[in-house]
Amino acid sequence: MTSETPRRRLAPEVRRRQVLDAAVAVFSEEGFHGASMEAVAARAGVSKPLVYAHGGSKEELFAACLHREADRLLRSVQSAAGEPGDEPLVRLRRALRAFFHALTSRRDGWTVLWRQASTGPFAGEVDALRRRIVDQAADLVAGGLGLPRGAVVPYAHTLVGAAEGLAQWWLTSDDALDRTDPADALADMLVGVVGPGLAALTDTIAPSTAVSDQR
């Protein structure tokens, strides 16, 4: 606490980034209600009014954190999935790998998104984000198996939930994976568990539904 930073003037853009980073950190630790604007200010090494100047109200600030992290996550997963022409299970594995990689490299962003935001005034926004991810998964599965999109939606939810569960284990347990790339290992585990079941899905539900029924 000897660092009596003597009040530096910074460009608005830089300050805004600082404040947002601090907000993500604090929100991820304390939650939306638990975090105080003063805590955010302290974490950013800055005074409270400055947080208001750059982040707006508390809700606006939280929403900004949410959107930034959500965009990051979605973009990386989406770009990793690659072109629709590729092998389905390969695409799925790549997407999962990107997902786990994003989580591990940005832990607190993940926490803000899925744990803290699920309650309160942002449940709707988080559900929307989750829906976008589930939609990606549904596209992947439907495209890979040649099944109607509507029929695979519950399975997409299952898949995303499974990824969340595995991620939770990975982020909270202190067990180590004996692989050089943890995200790789996690993606392999998940594909190993759900891969066969998904592949067998064609026989399970295809007979009862028209394949051409694209929603």
Partner DNA sequence: ACCCTAACTACCGATGCGTAAAGTAGCCCG
Partner DNA sequence: CGGGCTACTTTACGCATCGGTAGTTAGGGT
Positions that interact with DNA (CB under 7 A): 6-10, 12, 15, 34-38, 45-50, 52-54, 57-59
Size of the site for a copy of itself (CB under 8 A): 42
Instruction: Based on the shown chain and the rule CB under 8 A, indicate whether residue 198 belongs to the binding site for a copy of itself.
Output: yes
Which x/- pattern, by CB under 8 A, does the window 15-34 give for a copy of itself? Answer: ----------------xxxx
Indicate the residue among 57 and 214 with the shorter CB distance to DNA. 57
Instruction: Based on the shown chain and the rule CB under 8 A, indicate whether residue 197 belongs to the binding site for a copy of itself.
Output: yes
Nearest alpha-carbon partner for 116 in 34, 7, 193, 28: 28
CB of 189 to DNA, least distance (A): 39
Indicate the residue among 64 and 160 with the shorter CB distance to a copy of itself. 160
- Part in contact with a copy of itself (CB under 8 A); list of ranges 54-62, 80-88, 93-101, 196-204: 196-204
Indicate the residue among 67 and 75 with the shorter CB distance to DNA. 67
Contact with a copy of itself (CB under 8 A): which of 125, 139, 164, 184?
164
In angstroms, the CA 135 to CA 157 distance is: 9
CA atoms 140, 145, 151, 154: torsion sign? negative
In angstroms, the CA 136 to CA 163 distance is: 14
User: 38 contacts which partner out of a copy of itself, DNA, none, CB within 5 to 8 A by kind?
Assistant: DNA
CB of 195 to a copy of itself, least distance (A): 6
Instruction: Based on the shown chain and the rule CB under 8 A, indicate whether residue 155 belongs to the binding site for a copy of itself.
Output: yes
In angstroms, the CA 81 to CA 64 distance is: 26
Position 31, amino acid? G
